[in-house]
C-alpha cells in the first residue's frame, strides 16, 4: 500500500495491489480500469486502504466513515461492502468478513 503526493501536482494517490484511488478527484481504478464509486462507497474503500490488516468492527466503521452524528443500522455497512465487492470483481476477497465481528482489508503487493 502506498500514499503519495506527486511533486508539482495536486494529486494524492492511495493504492493497494490492483486498487488505485486518486484522492483529489475521487476516481478509482481497479486493475487499470476506471470504476465509479458513490461517495460513501468511496469513503469506505479509502478507510480500508488507509487502515489495512486491522480488524474493524461495524461500530468502528460507522463511527469513522459515517460519523457519530449519523444514525444508520450496522447492516448498512454490509450493503455497502457487498456493492464494493461487486465493483472489485475478482479482487472482492481483498475485503475479508470476520463473522460476528467485522471486516478487514487484506494487503497485496
The domain locations on the chain are: 2-105
Q: Which fold does the domain 2-105 belong to in CATH?
A: Arc Repressor Mutant, subunit A (1.10.10)
Please count the CA atoms within 13 angstroms of the CA of 18 that sit on its side-chain side: 15
pLDDT of residue 70: 77
- C-beta of residue 22 within 8 angstroms of C-beta of residue 11: yes
Tell me: pLDDT of 16 over 80.
yes
User: What is the pLDDT confidence band of residue 51, given thresholds at 50, 70 and 90?
Assistant: very high
Is a pLDDT exceeding 50 seen at residue 1? Answer: no
Q: How far is CA 107 from the centre of its chain?
A: 12
Task: Enumerate residues 6+ apart whose C-beta is below 8 A from 33.
Answer: none
- Poorest-pLDDT segment among 21-25, 59-63, 70-74, 77-81: 70-74
What does the block give as the cell for 37?
464509486
Sign of CA dihedral 79, 62, 2, 93: negative
Amino acid at each position: 500500500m502506498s500514499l503519495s503526493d506527486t511533486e508539482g501536482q495536486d494529486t494524492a494517490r492511495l493504492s493497494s495491489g490492483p486498487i488505485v484511488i486518486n484522492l483529489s478527484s475521487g476516481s478509482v481504478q481497479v486493475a487499470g480500469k476506471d470504476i465509479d464509486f458513490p461517495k460513501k462507497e468511496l469513503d469506505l474503500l479509502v478507510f480500508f486502504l488507509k487502515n489495512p490488516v486491522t480488524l474493524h468492527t461495524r461500530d468502528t466503521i460507522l463511527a469513522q466513515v459515517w460519523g457519530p452524528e449519523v444514525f444508520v443500522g450496522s447492516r448498512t455497512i454490509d450493503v455497502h461492502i457487498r456493492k464494493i465487492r461487486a465493483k472489485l470483481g475478482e479482487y472482492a476477497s481483498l475485503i475479508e468478513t470476520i463473522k460476528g465481528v467485522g471486516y478487514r482489508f487484506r494487503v497485496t503487493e
